[in-house]
Amino acid sequence: MLFNSLSFVLFLTIVLILYYAPLLNWTNKKRMLLLSSYVFYGMWNPPLIILLWISTMVDWTAGNQLNQEERPAVRKMWLLLSMFVNLGFLAFFKYGDFLLENFIALANAAGFEYQPYKMDIILPMGISFYTFQTMSYTIDMYNKKIKPARTFLDFALYVTFFPQLVAGPIVRAKDLITQFYEPKKASQNQFIWGLFLLTLGLFQKVVLADVLLAGTSDSVFSPGQTLSFLDAWTGTLAFSGQIFFDFAGYSTCAIGIALMLGIILPDNFMYPYASLGFSDLWKRWHISLSSWLKDYLYIPLGGNRHGITRMYAALMITMLLGGLWHGAAWTFIVWGGLHGIYLILERLQKQYLPFKITKWNGIFLAFTTFTCVNITWVFFRAREFETAWSMIKSMFFLNPEGAKILPTFQMIQVLTLITLLFLTHWGMRNTNVKEVASKMSPALLGVGWAVMIFLILIAQGTGEQFIYFQF
Amino acid sequence: MHLKKSLLIAIALGIAAITAWELYWRSKGYQPGLEETKDLWAVQREKVENSGKKDVLLLGDSRLLFDIQLNDWERETGTRPIQLATPGTTPLPAFHDIVKNTDYSGNIVISVTPIVFFSTTNPHAEFWHRIQSRVDYYKKRTLANQLNHFLDIPLQQNLAFLANDEELWADDLDLKTLLRNIQVGDRLEGMKMPPFYRFQEIEIDRNLKMTERTATDTSFANTVKNVWGFYGQQAASGPPPDKESVLSFFLSDLSEFKSRGGNVILVRCPSSGLLREVESKMMPRTEFYDILVEAADVPAYHFEDYEQLNQFYCPEWSHLSAQDASTFSTELARILIKDQVINN
């Protein structure tokens, strides 16, 4: 079920009525939320709920065993079992076709004629998110960082909680499970603020991403064309804005919906396009994934504890796997690799060419970071390397005869919006929406809110799927 | 933070703004109505699963969609056809889907508009992809998709500002179309598609009619003719018809369908004016339609062969007005009954 759909409006209304009606005690409210979460997921593909159940059962069992067991070898076995099941699901459902394609390519390159049937495996929505979430529980249990969930219901709800089930934020057990222990009810202000965040998220997704940017990005990244400099940049900037508004919009909706239930989810985006460098970027973009990768991949790989070479290797491996997490294609790996290179170059710069960031050079640095990030988006968005290379060449004036395909107004629309996006991120770097809203007059906030509602309604979105659902 | 106050202002202003928006578009002549969507198509496609020997499916392009009026056909034959024809599409993928994925063995009326029918078997070509995407959507639609459609229908039927058709009409009222219609400067080279305005009304079971305005306002009908002209120019510079591949693909499915007792009826619907001249010149009947009919060996009805079907003028050259479509449907059904191709 998509947040930007009529069925979700109906679904959320029913859930909120059941949650706040004086019919159920807290345990039954949690059961209702769990059942609702399965309905939310099952409305897309009912049989794939079984995967959620398996993941839940395996990590619940592993967590309990890790809590009781003291023998290191047995503890390691339970950890490996959890990782085998969760990563096995990912490997089969998400990377099965990719692995097979590459195996065929290798076999053919080695002279073996091998052409098996394509498996056409269905990708369970949100599998990358909920497997990472359940794995974090078991790894934290293994490292004795957390206590086990008090009840199976609390754990199952942690794995399945519908606001963040299919596209995050990827919440740690310590931040979410403990919230289920005591009855939760949003205060009036929390409930209204949650509703505001839901509106803001839908506005980002439906109006800004789908209406104002997606069409341009789709046209420009269609394969088989050679574009002019301006068209290539406009299309790339459009995708840059689209993916931010799409994903940040989803996270904002998720945070808002949870807040309407009295549950607090962490921020996932902090104005990333005004980042001062790439390490700053990854503290601001998809925060829950980057912190997951740091805690469960980069640090276990050695982090910065074993010398510079090992640190760079850990950084690169983390970013390459981070790229692969986003999708089963070499273009995503290149995207991750470019970010790895950026991070290494930044560390080298800080070591050998350090400079102080002032308010004068800050915006220039932010703009440079944003520009470099845009180059990586080309590989993220393009479905094939040919398209990506053609776009990169156009963006660097290497296709002087490139075609003009975007109408003038569409270019003005995209460039204006992206300029506003960058300046807004710059202006909001050290604050947040709530702080800004609290300084506004209630009337002005109400007018802004009404404008967003009106634009969402007249956008008449056709229920476009969120980009990150495919990851 | 006085959020309650902000919320009340947002609700009040939001309702006022959307009411004003609705009234504004109604004052401009817009009326609530359904859109021709993949969901409407999928609901009809689902009916095929439980259809029997006496049922009738309509497959093909927009001519069959405009020209066969379900009420008139039902009155003559006693059976309401399942309307699966889709604008700008070849019938081949939908027919292939019915043959391969169902055990349906009733009647199928297939539209033969040569410029579409013989165009291609390339899955990436627009005529093919457009209908194949509906077939795929039918197979993959989720429970959420079905619920959204169910909830969307009453809204479409009651709100005029909800006008957002998959055809991307120039007079749709969604925000994307309103912005797309703003023209500033002119940096694009090459042919530009003229504005394509909505000239149809559709009902819940996909019974579709030409609007009265198209039938009576020649200047409006000319805007549609301009679009056919644009497509004609595009087709002239595009790939030639792929007659051999099309025949091979179609005849293979036809053979399978006939072998399980299915009955196919080919129908060539009317066209007029310059479009008819171009069609006759580009794809002469003897080289395309007649060859198909001979190879298919099924009942076939070309409007030129029947006085009662050859009495119409298409206001925009390609489709019949609602009134003429009613007559055409009645006459065609009577001919089919008389020939005992279908029973009443």
Please report residues of A whose CB lies closer than 8 A to that of B184. Answer: 408-409, 412
Q: What is the separation, in whole angstroms, between the first and last Cα of chain A?
A: 16
Of A461 and A275, the one with more pLDDT: A275
Shortest CA gap B10–chain A (Å): 4
How far A121 CA sits from the closest chain B CA (Å)? 13
Q: Does A409 touch chain B (CB under 8 A)?
A: yes
> Any catalytic annotation for residue A326?
yes
Is some CB atom of chain A closer than 8 A to the CB atom of B236?
no
Task: State mean pLDDT over A271-275.
Answer: 95
A407 touches chain B (CB under 8 A): yes
Contact B7 A457 (CB under 8 A): no
Distance CA B210, CA B189 (A): 33
A43-79 pLDDT, tens digit per residue, is: 988 998 999 999 999 999 999 999 998 999 999 999 9
Mark which residues 197-236 of A lie under 8 Å from B by CB: 199, 207, 210-212, 215
User: Contact B6/A10, CB-based, under 8 Å?
Assistant: no
pLDDT tier for residue B129 given thresholds of 50, 70 and 90: very high
User: In the A/B pair of chains, how many CB contacts fall below 8 A?
Assistant: 138
| Active-site residue, from A286, A306, A326, A425 | A326
Binary contact (B5, A446; C-beta < 8 A): yes
Pick A454's closest partner by Cβ from B12, B17, B173.
B17
Calpha distance A434→A432 (Å, rounded): 6
> What pLDDT was estimated at residue A467?
67
Summarised one tens digit per residue, pLDDT across range B171-197 is: 999 999 999 999 888 788 777 889 999
Check CB contact under 8 Å for B174 and A449.
no
Rounded mean pLDDT, A107-121: 74
- Å from A232 to nearest chain B CA? 15
- State how far residue A181 is from chain B, nearest Cα, in angstroms: 28
Q: Does the distance separating the beta carbons of A189 and B9 come in below 8 Å?
A: no
Predicted confidence band at A466 (pLDDT cuts at 50, 70, 90)? low
Give the gap in angstroms from C-alpha B228 to the nearest C-alpha of chain A: 22
Q: How confident is the model at residue B2 (pLDDT cuts 50, 70, 90)?
A: confident
Determine the residue of chain B that is closest to A434 in CA distance: B1
Which residues of chain A does B155 touch, with a Cβ-Cβ cutoff of 8 Å?
Answer: 6
The two tokens of residue A462 are 């056709």
pTM of the predicted structure, to 2 decimals: 0.92
Q: Do B142 and A43 touch (CB under 8 A)?
A: yes
Check pLDDT > 80 for residue B84: yes
Higher pLDDT, A118 or B8: B8
Q: Is A5 on the interface with B (CB under 8 A)?
A: yes
A287-321 residue pLDDT tens: 999 999 999 999 999 888 888 889 999 999 999 99
- Give the single-character DSSP code of B64: H
